[in-house]
Amino acid sequence: MKFTLVQSTIEDKPYISDLRMTALADDFNRHHLPDEQVLSRFNENFNPDTTYLIKIHEETIGCIGIRPVGDEVMLKNFYLDPAYQGKGIGRAVFQSVLDQHQDKRVITLMIFKGSRAKKRYETFGFSVVDANERVETMCLYNKVGLK
């Protein structure tokens, strides 16, 4: 399926917040994070300027955050509607984003410890570079600029 990425607006915040609560419910429960804390953190950190809606035709099916900083890029808030999971769309979106940022030296993302997504990110070449009690930071180091 062909998809497009469209920059989000502040009006998309409720949709993205609801999608996040659904997509990460297992992680939030496993780490005993109360909904109020999770929602508060999302509300404080949501940035529509760096968040993109994933659309198929005109239907929004997910989102991804892309925050370039110098020769690095941080990927955040990559959520796909459960009805579209397991169909290769997430993989295609993720590969497209990686391809668009292949000029970056480092691509970073964070996942909850125990996340099912870890193995998927490892298939793209990401590895864990840091961790705390709840979160693992994964990086993909591109050959650009490396000596």
Q: How confident is the model at residue 145 (pLDDT cuts 50, 70, 90)?
A: very low
Q: How confident is the model at residue 146 (pLDDT cuts 50, 70, 90)?
A: very low
Buried/exposed code over 43-70 (b: 16+ C-beta within 10 A; e: otherwise): eeebebebbbbbbeeeebbbbbbbeeee
Looking at residue 1, its pLDDT comes to 74
- Give the span between the Cα atoms of 2 and 144, in whole angstroms: 29
pLDDT at 121 over 90: yes
Residues 59/2, Cβ–Cβ less than 8 Å:
no
Average of pLDDT values for 122-145?
A: 89
Q: What is the mean pLDDT of the chain?
A: 92
Q: What is the pLDDT of residues 41-97, one digit of tens each?
A: 999 999 999 999 999 999 999 999 999 988 999 999 999 999 999 999 999 999 999
pLDDT at 27 over 70: yes
Closest CA to 78 of 96, 53, 103: 53
Average of pLDDT values for 108-116?
A: 94
Domains of the chain: 4-102 (3.40.630.30)
Looking at residue 143, its pLDDT comes to 61
Instruction: Extract the tokens encoding 14.
Output: 């409720």
The region of weakest confidence among 14-18, 23-27, 59-63 is 23-27
Instruction: Extract the tokens encoding 54.
Output: 């994933």
